[in-house]
Amino acid sequence: MSTGSEPGMESDPKGPKLHASLLLPRDFSLFIKWQRKHCPGSELGEIHDALEYYRFIHHRDALLNGEKILPITWKSHVGSECGHAKHPSDRVINELCPVCEVKACLCFLEAIALVWRKEGGPRLKPTYQRTSTPVSYDLRNGWHAARLQMLKLLEMFEIMVMYEQLWEAQNLSEAATARETNCASKALKLAQEECPYPARLSPAHMWAKKQSSARAKKTVTISPDVEIKTNDTVSKAETKFSRDRSVFSSYRKMEIYEPGEHACPEDSEFINTSQLDGTFADLRNLKIYVTDDEDAFDDLQIDPKSLCDSVGRCEGIVGLHGLRDEIVKWVGEFKDEGPEQAADFEWMVKEADRVIVLIDGVMGGVVEAFFFDGSGGLESDDGDSEDETETGADMGDWTSLRKVL
């Protein structure tokens, strides 16, 4: 790359150092042969940077297509390997032009991201497997190291852009032609638009901790006397403290609870969100689907994408559904089975955005419930697809600036 790495030189010790078997499982033996011949100073079996990965892919594709790679005669302002014209202000001899260097970095990052997705990706998915494998840690570290290498390259391109602008200001007649080359400006724009990154880096329930304010806290004091105004006369009287209703009568879970004047009316369209238990608040906001077909319910746990075909449309949210009390009762019995079940339930509800409820076709009670995240790949209530991969907003995939815009 432009940082000065050439074939045969030792790679940066701070590079990704990803084992080639992770990214090239089928071509690992070919990579070892190529590495021994073309990179004698490199550690065997390890991919150290995007340029090394690019060289091998270029070599492998040429072998598969039966092509013979001919060396390109060096010309001024031309990449020695890619053959693309560079900006006239760039007089450094490199294997690749700036645009091809960025493409090599993007190709390397995409290769790591592809394998990383198969290992679970950079976030927890709505499944019961909450532990990361050693391979996923290697891929995560490799991706971050490769991204850091690319950022260092882009920092150098930002300096090159200033030289390009200076040259164009001094050569106005040739400025338009110079901008058509594979210059650093084009490379920066390509990196900004195409660089892949996870659409969401952390689970939805993990929020940033707010810093505590340094301002002084307000205090409340009770005056020993109060002013009483009667007609035009103002007089002072002692503050009288009288015992109001018991604090237990304000606790909603107690039998002696007495709703206040501002309490949510019974059976109204408003949802009481003032409960202390946030898990049940999340539960009440889940989209609900109801079915009495046990086979369809079992199939949906394997493939939730067939949701609408099996159980029909969404019936609103749990908090406004007629089975609300039955679902809450079933959840309470499930959590009472043990601390592990309670922890699993809290995690499932926080990760999910909808629930499928299996009811008894005869008695009508809740038999079982399945919680899952259906933010992508399912049909919404109006029949439109909720798959947001085209706009780059899918929570389980990767995106880029070009996809978002």
* pLDDT for res 195: 77
Q: Is residue 145 part of a domain?
A: yes
SS3 content of the chain, % helix, strand, coil (to 5): 40, 10, 45
273 in Cβ contact with 259 (< 8 Å): no
Q: Please indicate, yes or no, if residue 254 is contained in any of the structural domains.
A: no
Q: How much is the pLDDT for 41?
A: 74
Q: What is the predicted pLDDT for the residue at 270? A: 62
Tokens read off for 307: 């949701």
Q: Are residues 285 and 194 in the same domain?
A: no
Please indicate, yes or no, if residue 328 is contained in any of the structural domains.
yes
- By CB neighbour count within 10 A (0-12 exposed, 13-18 middle, 19+ buried), where does 245 fall? exposed
Closest CA to 2 of 232, 122, 159, 143: 159
Q: Do 312 and 289 meet the contact criterion of CB atoms below 8 Å apart? A: yes
Is 402 inside a domain boundary?
A: no
Identify whether 235 is part of a domain: no
Tokens 């009508």 correspond to: 364
Q: By C-alpha distance, which of 185, 116, 131, 181 is closest to 154?
A: 185
Residue 379 DSSP symbol: B
In a domain, 88, yes or no: yes
Q: Are residues 173 and 282 in the same domain?
A: no
Instruction: Give the three-class secondary structure for 370.
Output: strand
Residues 189 and 74 in one domain: yes
Q: Is residue 236 part of a domain?
A: no
Q: Per residue of the chain (405 residues), what is the pLDDT tens digit?
A: 444 444 333 444 455 578 888 888 888 888 888 888 887 777 888 888 888 888 888 888 888 887 766 544 444 455 556 767 777 877 776 778 888 888 888 888 888 888 887 777 665 444 434 445 677 778 888 888 888 888 888 888 888 888 888 888 888 888 888 888 888 888 888 888 887 766 554 444 444 444 555 566 677 777 777 677 667 776 776 666 666 667 767 776 677 777 777 777 776 656 555 555 667 778 888 888 888 888 877 777 776 666 666 667 788 888 888 888 888 888 888 888 888 888 888 888 888 888 888 888 777 788 888 888 776 555 444 444 444 333 333 444 566 655 655
Interatomic CA distance for residues 53 and 142, integer angstroms: 13
Residues 156 and 286 in one domain: no
Residue-level pLDDT at 267: 66
Contact of 365 with 372, CB cutoff 8 Å: no
Strands 287-291 and 354-359: parallel
User: Whole domain around residue 317: which residue ranges?
Assistant: 278-374
DSSP state of 389: G
- Tell me what pLDDT residue 370 has: 84
Q: Residue 229 domain-assigned?
A: no
Give the residue ranges of DSSP H helices in 76-214.
Answer: 98-118, 134-170, 172-179, 184-194
pLDDT at 208: 44
- Under 8 Å between Cβ of 53 and 108: yes
